[in-house]
Copies of this chain bind each other. A is one copy, B any other.
Amino acid sequence: MDKKKPLILVVNDDGVTAPGIRTLIRLMKKLGDVIVVAPDGPQSGMGHAITLDSTLHVERVHIDKGEQVEYACSGTPVDCVKLAMNKLVPKRPDLCVSGINHGSNSSINVLYSGTMSAAVEGAIEGIPSIGFSLLDYSHDADFSQCEEYVIKIAKQVLENSLPKGTCLNVNIPNVKKEEFKGIRICRQANGNWHEEFDERISPQGKTYYWLTGKFVNYDKGEDTDIWALENNYISVVPVMFDVTAHHVIQQLNSWNHG
């Protein structure tokens, strides 16, 4: 390990063998030494979950050739960051990158996303952190068109760091390289999911459900991530882990507290 090279921690939520993280590892190796601590299987939609009632296992793995050190972990994406920081990294990482997620983490999806929660956990640990997502859910998603932008943004963060208490939520539209209009700093669009639970009957006659639904965007603002993505921009939303609604504290103080 080169002492002068930055150390980059790579995590994700689709699991250590997912094409998205394999791309991200390959790209980060151009910028520094890479340590990978990723779930041993899919952990999509795990949000900021941590493993309290169960044990955690970690195994050294060798998936692609190269000097990167890789671990597969039985826990959630946030567990991976915690284990990495406390047990696995040889020194404090200079950057934590999560993804590249197969599918969008724009708007309210930032809360459900294991990819983004791993980046938020990196920020809580005080490491400049970025979550990357490509708007293509398929396993065969083509990550090649966005490589240049992923490197560019990671380099910027390595050089400039990030404001305290924040990380970046980067979403990349699924378009050809020549169609990208550039990078746009955005706010999270105000949208959510309209669930349509798929109700089925098991062979044993018991009712069960699959969570499914449709994303609905109420927010036409041109400063939102959804607008940027629909207009072929790469959206970059600064995300913070202080979730206090500071702007309503005064209003609540007018309540009669007794």
- Chain B residues with CB under 8 Å of A211's CB are 50-52, 56, 75, 79, 82
- Chain B residues with CB under 8 Å of A86's CB are 195-197
Q: Given the interface contacts A197-B87, A243-B111, does A163 sit within 8 Å of B248 by beta carbon?
A: yes
What separation, in Å, do the CA atoms of A182 and B236 have in the docked complex? 42
What separation, in Å, do the CA atoms of A8 and B244 have in the docked complex? 24
B258–A182 CB distance below 8 A: yes
B-contacting residues, A5-50, CB 8 Å = 42, 44-50
- Chain B residues with CB under 8 Å of A120's CB are 111
A225's nearest neighbour on chain B, judged by CB, is B244
A257–B208 CB distance below 8 A: no
- What's the minimum C-beta distance from A138 to chain B, rounded to whole angstroms? 16
A156–B255 CB distance below 8 A: yes
Q: Is A217 an interface residue (CB 8 A)?
A: no
- On chain A, the number of residues with a Cβ less than 8 Å from chain B's Cβ atoms is 80
B47–A195 CB distance below 8 A: no
- What's the minimum C-beta distance from A15 to chain B, rounded to whole angstroms? 11
- What's the minimum C-beta distance from A58 to chain B, rounded to whole angstroms? 7
What separation, in Å, do the CA atoms of A255 and B245 have in the docked complex? 27
Q: Is A61 an interface residue (CB 8 A)?
A: no
Q: Is A4 an interface residue (CB 8 A)?
A: no
B-contacting residues, A177-211, CB 8 Å = 182-188, 190, 192-193, 195-197, 199-200, 206-211
Q: Is A108 an interface residue (CB 8 A)?
A: yes
What separation, in Å, do the CA atoms of A125 and B237 have in the docked complex? 23
Digit string of A231-258 for contact with B (CB within 8 Å is 1, else 0)? Answer: 0000011111111111011011101111
- What's the minimum C-beta distance from A165 to chain B, rounded to whole angstroms? 7
A163–B245 CB distance below 8 A: yes
Q: Given the interface contacts A49-B45, A111-B243, does A207 sit within 8 Å of B58 by beta carbon?
A: yes
A56's nearest neighbour on chain B, judged by CB, is B209
- What's the minimum C-beta distance from A230 to chain B, rounded to whole angstroms? 18
A contact residues vs B (CB 8 Å cutoff): 42, 44-53, 55-58, 75-76, 78-79, 82-83, 85-87, 108, 110-112, 117, 120, 124-125, 152, 156, 160, 162-163, 165-166, 182-188, 190, 192-193, 195-197, 199-200, 206-211, 236-246, 248-249, 251-253, 255-258
